[in-house]
Structure 1
């Protein structure tokens, strides 16, 4: 069992994770001042905090990847996923780490 605050193992993307990515694409583009023709989640890790942080490896075209962090607050807070941060210039084999 994962410790609260610990980062879980990399997992294959589910439909729900891709949906989260789809909703975060415009926020990622705003933060990086770029337009992504491709924005496909490849792997993700989960960190349980006061809610859940999703660290998602996203293919953005060619050999380029970004890692995004998305916070899903606890259900009682009634909010959808929130864009937290992005790491640019990542590659396919780069490990997903908290940032």
Structure 2
């Protein structure tokens, strides 16, 4: 991960194993929001924002030409470290930039 300014978004980075673990953990929440099931759910890129916890904006390949942009909030460990999906944008392409929404 690159250095992050508190409150500011990081540059877009290739997804890491830790980012994929976050995606695996919140896949059910995304499926509930979109009312769809995904066989593939692979993190490609991400940005992060340090707040009272961390916001992640993750580009996910969900099979075929399906790309999602997913916002996840990870609470601080002292608050349980829970991960919550705070937004999902469907209809993206592989080339679309990650823009906070």
Q: TM-score, normalised by structure 2?
A: 0.91
Which whole-Å deviations, capped at 9, do the CAs of 1:12-32 have from their partners, x for residues lacking one? 111111011011111111101
- Matched residues in 2 for 1:2 and 1:21: separation? 21
Unpaired runs of 5+ residues, structure 2, are none
5+ long unaligned stretches in structure 1: none
> Counterpart of 2:16?
14
Return the alpha-carbon distance in structure 2 between the equivalents of residues 76 and 27 of structure 1.
Answer: 23
TM-score, with length taken from structure 1:
0.92
Aligned length: 99
Root-mean-square deviation (Å): 1.2
- Structure 1 runs (4+) deviating above 4 angstroms are none
Secondary structure at the residue paired with 1:61?
A: coil
